[in-house]
Amino acid sequence: MIIPHAKPGTSAKNLTGEWKAYMPVVEGSKCIKCGICQNFCPEGIMGVVKKVPEIDYEYCKGCSICAIECPVKCIEMERIEDD
Amino acid sequence: MPKEREKCPAGKEVLAMLKTVEGAVVAGEMAVNCKPDVVACYPITPTTHLTEALNKAYADGKIPEYITVEAEFSALSALVGASAAGARTFTTTGGQGLLYMHEVLFSAAGMRLPIVMLVGNRAVSSPLNIWNDEQDSISQRDSGWIQIYCKSNQEAVDAIPQAFYVAEKIFLPVMVCVDGHYLTHAVEQVDVVDEKRVQSFLPPYKYPLKLDPENPVSLGVYANPTHYQAFREDLMKDMETAKELLIEAGKKWGAVSGRSYGLFTEYKVKDAERVLIGLGSVMDNVITVVDELREKGEKVGALHLRVFRPFPREELRKALEGKNIGVIDRDISIGAQAPVYVDIAEALNGTSTKISSFYGGLGGRGIKRAHVREMFEKMKKGPVKEWVASTDVKLL
């Protein structure tokens, strides 16, 4: 018998990144470090502004907002093969 | 006056106090004997008198907490909280009330809360109807609740402590299903086992994960696709284990009261060629007709399916294999075959058993002895699937 329960703070253990069907991939050489993707990311997993984004794929849900907002189009959404 | 009864299976003499009392009211008396800590009900026909009895028990100080709520959704939600906080909980509803609880039924089972509820079986809207059939609880059969169906008020009263016993051992909620009006409003002789003997049967309730502000936990919260199914698999496995506990509770109750129970009750099934199977009070009529036809030399029998969830698949297969059987459903699945019939047909798949399906007796349309005779007669010719107690009524 397992009772589904969680102690405080355990929601961080839910790796929501497994939801995604597409993953953002950054081409660092094209990046102008404008911080737009980092500000728009609803999950806050694009790293810090003034740096090339470092994506935490364990929590990235693959929403594509970063790729759509990027002014220099240096973020590609790549299909994750899942057979 | 206490009256001496037959020796119970354990060999002890058991004293019975027979009372002539209404079904819904006496169910309340037994619920109180089980000493629930928290009760929350929203009154609805046909179990309003049970709600009244519980209210009175609270006013008399026999129930520590009674939460008045604005609807059935809240009634069950209140008990989810109370049960998780470590309280023994009881409620009642039926018909539309049970449908209104639908979402919380699944939550309570998923959180593994041993809530016990008496369902006064009632037809569901539309059209509006307050009379009896079993569509309400049958439609909740996949919710993860154990379902016990009672054929008399004695069975109903005996099922309540057994429900607590099983629920609190396997941590699953239990519905005790009692036909509305036919049983809830029937005044008949019932032996109510007293509080002392009920308490000797029922160990105190202890939820392993008590809700406690000093040591906080959240229950039934989010589970990822990675984890969700594992919880459902665990639930399924434990529901299967509940079968053994239901048998254990039925036997132990026999030692307390002199009346033992199993997953189903066979009546002259062993040597029968034709057997009618069903849930609830309709089976009393079937049993009467079995006696009548046996006198004429016909080899017929009756099987009352007491526990519908967990479904006693293998046990039924053993009891019914090779016979000519008919399943009475007082419920339908619109656009498909009748639910109880489907489960029984699946259990007997691949055997030479002939299986007929009789569905009807809905919304207070009685299945009378004449209908039962007719069903036994039709089974002679071969498997049929048809409405029972169907008459030509001009609707408009």
Domains belonging to chain B, first-starting first, are 10-204+221-257 (3.40.50.970), 264-388 (3.40.50.920)
Arithmetic mean of pLDDT, B8-21: 68
H/E/C letters for each residue in B163-227?
HHHHHHHHCCCEEEEEECCCCCCCEEEEECCCHHHHHHHCCCCCCCCCCCCCCCCEECCCCCHHH
Chain B residues within 8 angstroms (CB to CB) of chain A: 110-112, 170-171, 208-209, 216-226, 230-231, 234, 238
With beta carbons under 8 A apart, name residues in chain B contacting A8. Answer: 216, 218
**pLDDT value of residue B2:** 43
Q: Do B224 and A14 touch (CB under 8 A)?
A: yes
Distance in Å from the first CA to the final CA of chain A: 32
Rounded CA separation B29/B157 (Å): 9
Share of chain A above pLDDT 70, in %: 100
In a domain, A20, yes or no: yes
Q: How far is CA B17 from the centre of its chain?
A: 24
Mean pLDDT of chain B: 94
In a domain, A54, yes or no: yes
In a domain, A3, yes or no: no
Say whether residue A3 is in contact with chain B using an 8 A CB cutoff. yes
What CATH number did the domain enclosing A54 receive? 3.30.70.20
Residue in A76, A81, A22, A79 with CA at minimum distance from that of residue A53: A76
Confidence of residue B5 (pLDDT cuts 50, 70, 90): very low
Q: Which two tokens stand for residue B201?
A: 């049967």
With beta carbons under 8 A apart, name residues in chain A contacting B208. Answer: 3
Q: Do A3 and B111 touch (CB under 8 A)?
A: yes
**pLDDT value of residue B210:** 80
Say whether residue A13 is in contact with chain B using an 8 A CB cutoff. no
Contact at 8 Å (CB) between B121 and B282? no
Name the residue among B209, B222, B224 with its Cβ closest to that of A3. Answer: B209
Q: What is the pLDDT of residues B236-261, one digit of tens each?
A: 999 999 999 999 999 999 999 999 99
Please determine, for residue B9, whether its predicted confidence score (pLDDT) is greater than 70: no
Rounded CA separation B39/B37 (Å): 7
Please determine, for residue A18, whether its predicted confidence score (pLDDT) is greater than 90: no
With beta carbons under 8 A apart, name residues in chain B contacting A2. Answer: 112, 230-231, 234
Helix (H, G, I), strand (E, B) or coil at B89: strand
Confidence of residue B14 (pLDDT cuts 50, 70, 90): low
ipTM over 0.85: no
Q: Do A16 and B224 touch (CB under 8 A)?
A: yes
Arithmetic mean of pLDDT, B214-229: 89
In a domain, A11, yes or no: no
In a domain, A4, yes or no: no
Distance in Å from the first CA to the final CA of chain B: 55
Q: Do A4 and B170 touch (CB under 8 A)?
A: no
In a domain, A5, yes or no: no
Which domain, by its residues, includes A64? 16-79
Lowest mean pLDDT among B168-177, B220-229, B278-287, B353-362: B220-229
**pLDDT value of residue B115:** 98
Q: Which two tokens stand for residue B263?
A: 């997953």
Please determine, for residue B34, whether its predicted confidence score (pLDDT) is greater than 80: yes
Contact at 8 Å (CB) between B172 and B239? yes
Share of chain B above pLDDT 70, in %: 96
Lowest mean pLDDT among A3-7, B39-43, B162-166, B348-352: A3-7
Please determine, for residue B4, whether its predicted confidence score (pLDDT) is greater than 90: no
Rounded CA separation B382/B354 (Å): 7
Rounded CA separation A77/A43 (Å): 16
Please determine, for residue B67, whether its predicted confidence score (pLDDT) is greater than 80: yes
Q: Do B171 and A5 touch (CB under 8 A)?
A: no
Please determine, for residue A6, whether its predicted confidence score (pLDDT) is greater than 50: yes
Arithmetic mean of pLDDT, B96-115: 98
Rounded CA separation B62/B393 (Å): 49
Name the residue among A2, A4, A19 with its Cβ closest to that of B221. Answer: A4
Report pTM: 0.93
In a domain, A25, yes or no: yes
In a domain, A56, yes or no: yes
Please determine, for residue B350, whether its predicted confidence score (pLDDT) is greater than 60: yes
What is the identity of the amino acid at B14? Answer: V
Name the residue among B209, B224, B226 with its Cβ closest to that of A5. Answer: B209
Q: What is the pLDDT of residues B166-194, one digit of tens each?
A: 999 999 999 999 999 999 999 999 999 99
More confident residue, B6 or B156: B156
With beta carbons under 8 A apart, name residues in chain A contacting B222. Answer: 6, 11, 14
Residue in B88, B87, B82, B93 with CA at minimum distance from that of residue B51: B93
Q: In what order do the strands lie in the sheet with B146-150?
A: B65-68, B38-41, B89-93, B116-121, B174-179, B146-150, B307-309
Arithmetic mean of pLDDT, B83-109: 97
With beta carbons under 8 A apart, name residues in chain B contacting A4. Answer: 110-112, 219-221, 223, 231
Rounded CA separation B10/B250 (Å): 13
Rounded CA separation A41/B73 (Å): 38
Q: How far is CA B80 from the centre of its chain?
A: 20
Which residues contact residue B170 at a Cβ distance below 8 angstroms, ignoring those fewer than 6 apart?
A: A1, B114, B238, B239, B241, B242, B245
Confidence of residue B226 (pLDDT cuts 50, 70, 90): confident
Rounded CA separation B94/B131 (Å): 11
How many structural domains compose chain A?
Answer: 1
More confident residue, B383 or B391: B383
Contact at 8 Å (CB) between B120 and B156? no
Name the residue among A5, A11, A15 with its Cβ closest to that of B219. Answer: A5
Share of chain A above pLDDT 90, in %: 73
Mutation choice for A interface testing from B80, B107, B112, B229 by most A CBs within 10 A? B112
CA distance A36 to chain B (A): 30
Q: How far is CA B18 from the centre of its chain?
A: 23
